[in-house]
């Protein structure tokens, strides 16, 4: 075990504190002389070396030094009321409310969740307080005019929980620090339990060989000396949590454990003082040790299950090669990059920020963001994302987004929010928890009174076993662990799920509704033909006029027209009073004239007659799955712009799979009936509704819901937002508009249709696992509580059984990864 490189020769080899005081000493560890601040540190290091844990302890120190966890409780809570400080982690909400995500240390059971939520909701001004057990996360919303954030944090501190603003990196440091403290408490309890075992053996042997009273009394006092520090140091968190709960008139799950430990300890001490009978100091030390082992294993399992966000954080490189105006390279921290900087990315390096390629040609591996295994070709003007890996070429990139604005940061945020959310079924479990502890105490009291007819010792052991073995932790973790694992697996497959309720809804869908443009088709429209009707305009002038109207809109047609004008280098006239007509087109003032650009229905609305030649051309284009956009001004058609699109790869296969699963399929489009029928011929049998306005799409979804259908809507445009909001579950393509992604519950990264079955299957696996976990936790309690009440389980066996139920729930949730892996392989035909 080697000291940290940062320690001086006058630092303690174990803890790093100055080893210069009166208590300082020297000693050998692993054959090497070392200096310590006290003899206690020397003995701890010798125990660690004797147990063969040197390398593990060194890794623990390394993690602690690099992660720099936040403090247990900020010393100045008033600083969090400053607007400059809140700007870093607080979001403004409607109605003047504010929202924040806080990391809360000390949450370890469902009763903690209930206690925090109830205590905060009782505060005037707090409008939302939801705790996620698996992630130890608090979603908080409050009215700053009624209650200050510092007052909320003080309320948490009074409950015994330290809260700090959530940040992914510091959160990981906090978890490591908390686990390290838990490990030391567990190690101390284990050391005490091992020594108590020798005392118990001596007393047990003396029972048969005839031990003298003074020796028996001596061993009782030795047991007392060992059990006391174990109870009050290793078991201290249980005692403090139970006491705080009683003081605040709330029952926590640590209360039964504290009562069981203190009762057994007090009875054994009373027996020792009066010099007769049996003592149970060994029971106290052993079941505290076993419970701490279970807590530590639960913490490790939770961290493994929730590793998706940590995996995504590891994608972000820490440094970048920034290029100055002369082309000189300087290695800087990524956080020092700014929009407009140029960076150099060598082969095999990670791209440090979102931006565009300004020089170079390469392939970039985007699998970690989109789930797509094939590298994507990138050349000049191609967009690249932070965290993706450059292939064989050298790229020079102009930075556009950094920090929290990058695609990677937004994905991490979505995953964190989803993993911290609650599903509807979890709220039912949360309502059960407050009554669970009260029932536990009543059952323990009934058990004690029943067995008192036999003898006090039997009654005490049976009641203690009931207090320890009954635990709602598995019940409380059944849902959040499934949500954490499911959303993490989904993120790795390129499916971003916003909340736990979306997972439940995905598992129950019966009907899938598609938009056409940008969803079943590529949405990469390109201008294929321009026809002028007005002899005073040529193709370039007609295209410039159309682009002037469309350049501020994000619809695929608008992007295609604007791009065509940019490629030709056209100068666009100024356009004013722009207005979008949902499902029809756009209009605006250009040069003092009102100009209309859109489909035949917009022309009819504007009172413009379409020439016969233009109508025939429009019908021919739409029959080939294209789009004909008419440009009109002054009551007449100026020309037509023809655009082409193509089906997304795998669209037909996707619809065939959905139909095979018995799901209904509907296509809603604003295009003409002719174009919709052509698409239907290519995609197979499905319900098709064409020439719909955005509000018409929403009405069609409502009609399906009235028929009892659970509707999933897949869209990508601004005009899809009302329908996405109306559907039971909404999915947006990453290539779609910001509005559609904001209205959606799920986002498909990479805009690949093959990921839709992944999303549906993840929802089904999550709900199935939640139900299995709830049954596991209920079966555990219904089976073992009667056994403990019958006196067939000792407190030590109860302490072993208690964490097993939680570990079973966590393990079953982790199996979602394996099941989804098999599903993906089957879908890909491997």
Q: Which of 431-445, 764-778, 811-825 has the lowest average pLDDT?
A: 431-445
- What local confidence, expressed as pLDDT, does residue 710 receive? 92
Could you tell me if 180 and 259 lie in one domain? yes
647 SS3 class: strand
Give residue-wise pLDDT tens across range 169-208. Answer: 556 666 677 778 888 888 898 898 888 888 777 776 665 5
Residue 197 counted as domain residue: yes
- Report which of 769, 237, 209 is spatially closest to residue 479, judged by C-alpha positions: 769
Task: Please indicate, yes or no, if residue 627 is contained in any of the structural domains.
Answer: no
Residue 549, in any domain of the structure: no
- 315 with 406, same domain: the answer is yes
Same domain, 118 and 235: no
Instruction: Provide the whole-model pTM.
Output: 0.60
**Chosen domain end from 418, 433, 451:** 418
Alpha carbons 234 and 223: distance in angstroms, whole number: 16
Please count the residues of the chain.
Answer: 830
What is the CA angle 327-331-335, rounded to 5? 115
DSSP string, 698-712: HHHHHHHHHTT--EE
Q: Which of 282, 430, 515, 671 is an active site residue?
A: 515
Mean residue pLDDT across the chain: 78
CA distance to 14, 38, 43, 401, per residue, from 29 (Å): 11, 14, 9, 51
CB 16 within 8 A of CB 10: no
Determine contact, residues 109/470, Cβ cutoff 8 Å. no
- 515 with 648: CB under 8 angstroms? no
Give the tens place of pLDDT for each residue, 340-386.
Answer: 899 999 888 888 888 999 988 888 887 666 655 567 788 888 888 88
Label residue 827 exposed, middle or buried (CB < 10 Å: 0-12, 13-18, 19+).
middle
Please report, for the domain that includes residue 326, its CATH number.
2.70.150.10
Task: Tell me, yes or no, whether 120 lies in a domain.
Answer: yes
Closest to 746 measured CA to CA, from 414, 457, 464: 414
Across the strands, what pairs with 513?
A: 666, 713
Which pLDDT band, with edges at 50, 70 and 90, does 487 fall under?
confident
Say if residue 644 is exposed, middle or buried (CB neighbours under 10 Å; 0-12, 13-18, 19+).
middle
Distance separating alpha carbons of residues 409 and 199, to the nearest angstrom: 56
Cα separations (Å) of 301 from 297, 416, 763? 6, 18, 22
596 falls within a domain: no
* 670 or 100, greater pLDDT: 100
Same domain? 217 vs 256 = yes
Q: DSSP secondary-structure letter at 680? A: H
Bridge partners (DSSP) of residue 321 are 331, 344
Q: Are residues 40 and 96 in the same domain?
A: no
Q: In this structure, what CATH number is given to the domain that contains residue 684? A: 3.40.50.1000
Residues 407 and 432 in one domain: no
Same domain, yes or no: 502 and 391 = no
**Strand locations in 669-757, DSSP E?**
687-689, 711-715, 729-733, 746-748
> Structure tokens of 318?
């820490």
Find the CATH number of the domain harbouring 93.
3.30.70.100
Q: Which residue has the tokens 């009440």?
A: 789
Q: Which domain holds residue 796?
A: 174-303+425-483+771-824
Higher-confidence position of 42 and 383: 383
Q: Are residues 180 and 297 in the same domain?
A: yes
- CA-to-CA distance for 411 and 434, rounded, in angstroms? 35
Which of 706, 763, 768, 694 has its CA nearest to residue 729?
763
Q: Which of 62, 85, 112 is the last residue of a domain?
A: 62
In a domain, 67, yes or no: no
CA atoms 759, 760, 763, 766: torsion sign:
negative
Q: Are residues 194 and 152 in the same domain?
A: no
Beta-bridge partners for 383: 356
Residue 511 has pLDDT above 90, yes or no: yes
Active site residue 515: yes
Domain co-membership, 191 together with 44: no
Mean pLDDT of 623-652: 83
| CA pair distance 122, 382, nearest whole angstrom | 53
Residues 91, 93, 96, 99, CA torsion sign: negative
What distance in Å separates the CA atoms of residue 795 and residue 765, rounded to the nearest whole number?
A: 36
Residue 71 belongs to some domain of the structure:
no
Q: Residue 422: exposed, middle, or buried by beta-carbon count in 10 A (0-12, 13-18, 19+)?
A: buried
What is the model's pLDDT at position 19? 55
The predicted pLDDT at position 304 comes to 61
Alpha-carbon gap, residue 415 to 484, rounded angstroms = 9
pLDDT at residue 575 is higher than 50: yes
Does 452 lie in the same domain as 407? Answer: no
Taking 3-state DSSP, the helix, strand and coil percentages for the chain, each rounded to the nearest 5, stand at 55, 20, 25
Same domain? For 658 and 734 the reply is: yes
Helix axis angle for 254-274 and 281-305, nearest 10°, is 160
Is 533 inside a domain boundary? no
At 169, is the secondary structure helix, strand, or coil?
helix
Q: Of the ranges 228-237, 264-273, 734-743, 810-819, which one carries the lowest mean pLDDT score?
A: 734-743
Q: How many domains does the chain have?
A: 5
C-beta of residue 630 within 8 angstroms of C-beta of residue 581: no
DSSP 313: H
Q: How far apart are CA 768 and CA 762, in angstroms?
A: 10
């Amino acid at each position: 075990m080697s000291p940290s490189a940062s320690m001086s020769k006058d630092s303690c080899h174990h803890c790093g504190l100055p080893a210069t005081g009166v208590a300082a000493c020297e000693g050998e560890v692993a054959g090497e002389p070392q200096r310590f601040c006290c003899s206690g540190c020397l003995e701890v290091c010798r125990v660690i070396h004797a147990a063969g844990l040197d390398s593990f302890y060194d890794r623990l120190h390394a993690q602690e030094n690099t992660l720099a966890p936040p403090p247990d409780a900020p010393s100045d809570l008033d600083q969090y009321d400053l607007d400059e400080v809140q700007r870093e982690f607080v979001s403004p909400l409607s109605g003047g409310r504010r929202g924040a995500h806080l990391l809360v240390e000390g949450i370890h059971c469902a009763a903690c969740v209930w206690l925090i939520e109830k205590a905060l909701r009782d505060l005037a001004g707090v409008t939302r307080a939801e705790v996620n057990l698996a992630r130890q996360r608090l979603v908080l919303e409050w009215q700053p005019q009624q209650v200050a954030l510092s007052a909320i944090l003080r309320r948490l501190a009074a409950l015994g929980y330290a809260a700090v603003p959530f940040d992914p990196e510091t959160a990981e440091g906090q978890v490591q620090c908390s686990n390290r403290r838990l490990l030391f408490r567990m190690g101390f309890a284990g050391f005490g339990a091992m020594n108590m075992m020798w005392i118990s053996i001596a007393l047990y042997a003396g029972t048969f060989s005839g031990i003298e009273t003074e020796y028996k009394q001596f061993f009782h006092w030795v047991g007392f000396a060992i059990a006391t520090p174990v109870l009050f140091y290793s078991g201290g968190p249980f005692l403090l949590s139970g006491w705080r709960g009683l003081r605040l008139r709330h029952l926590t799950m640590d209360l039964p454990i504290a009562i069981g430990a203190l009762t057994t300890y007090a009875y054994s001490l009373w027996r020792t003082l009066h010099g007769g009978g049996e003592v149970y100091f060994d029971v106290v030390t052993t079941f505290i040790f076993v419970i701490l082992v279970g807590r530590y294993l639960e913490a490790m399992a939770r961290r493994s299950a929730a590793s998706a966000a940590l995996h995504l954080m590891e994608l972000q490189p820490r440094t970048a090669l920034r290029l100055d105006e002369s082309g000189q390279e300087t290695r800087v921290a990524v956080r020092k990059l700014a929009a407009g900087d140029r960076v150099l990315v060598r082969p095999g390096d990670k791209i440090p920020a979102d931006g565009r390629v300004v020089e170079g040609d390469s392939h970039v591996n985007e699998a970690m963001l989109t789930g797509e295994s094939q590298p994507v070709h990138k050349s000049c003007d191609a967009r690249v994302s932070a965290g993706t890996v450059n292939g064989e070429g050298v790229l020079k990139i102009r930075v556009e987004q950094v920090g929290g604005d990058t695609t990677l940061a937004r994905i991490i945020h979505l995953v964190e929010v989803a993993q911290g959310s609650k599903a509807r079924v979890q709220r039912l479990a949360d309502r059960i928890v407050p009554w669970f502890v009260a029932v536990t105490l009543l059952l323990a009291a009934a058990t004690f009174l029943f067995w008192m007819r036999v003898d006090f010792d039997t009654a005490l052991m049976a009641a203690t076993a009931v207090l320890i073995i009954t635990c709602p932790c598995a019940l409380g973790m059944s849902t959040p662990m499934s949500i954490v694992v499911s959303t993490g697996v989904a993120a790795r497959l390129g499916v971003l799920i916003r909340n736990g309720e979306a997972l439940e809804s995905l598992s129950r869908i019966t009907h899938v509704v598609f938009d056409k443009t940008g969803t079943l088709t590529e949405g990469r429209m390109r201008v294929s033909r321009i026809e002028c009707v007005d002899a005073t305009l040529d193709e370039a002038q007609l295209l410039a006029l159309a682009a002037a109207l469309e350049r501020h809109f994000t619809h695929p047609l608008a992007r295609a027209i604007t791009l065509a004008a940019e490629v030709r280098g056209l100068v666009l006239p100024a356009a004013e009073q722009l207005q979008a007509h949902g499902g029809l087109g756009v209009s605006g003032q250009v040069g003092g004239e009102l100009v209309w650009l859109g489909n035949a229905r917009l022309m009819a609305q504007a009172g413009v007659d379409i020439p016969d030649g233009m109508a025939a051309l429009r019908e021919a284009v739409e029959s080939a799955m294209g789009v004909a956009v008419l440009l009109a001004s002054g009551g007449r058609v100026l020309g037509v712009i023809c655009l082409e699109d193509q089906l997304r790869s795998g669209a037909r296969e996707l619809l065939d799979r959905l139909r095979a699963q018995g799901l209904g399929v509907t296509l809603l489009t604003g295009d003409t009936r002719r174009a919709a029928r052509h698409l239907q011929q290519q995609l197979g049998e499905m319900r098709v509704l064409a020439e719909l306005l955005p509000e018409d799409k929403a009405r069609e979804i409502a009609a399906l819901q009235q028929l009892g259908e659970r509707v999933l809507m897949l869209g990508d445009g601004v005009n899809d937002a009302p329908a996405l909001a109306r559907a039971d579950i909404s999915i947006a393509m990453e290539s779609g508009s910001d509005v559609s992604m904001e209205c959606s519950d799920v986002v498909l990264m990479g805009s690949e249709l093959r990921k839709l079955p992944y999303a549906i299957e993840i929802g089904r696996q999550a709900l199935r696992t939640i139900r299995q976990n709830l049954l596991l936790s209920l079966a555990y309690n219904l089976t073992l509580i009667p056994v403990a009440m019958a006196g067939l389980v000792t407190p030590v066996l109860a302490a072993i059984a208690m964490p097993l139920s939680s570990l079973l729930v966590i393990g079953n949730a982790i199996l979602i990864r394996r099941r989804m892996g098999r599903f993906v392989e089957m879908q890909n035909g491997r």
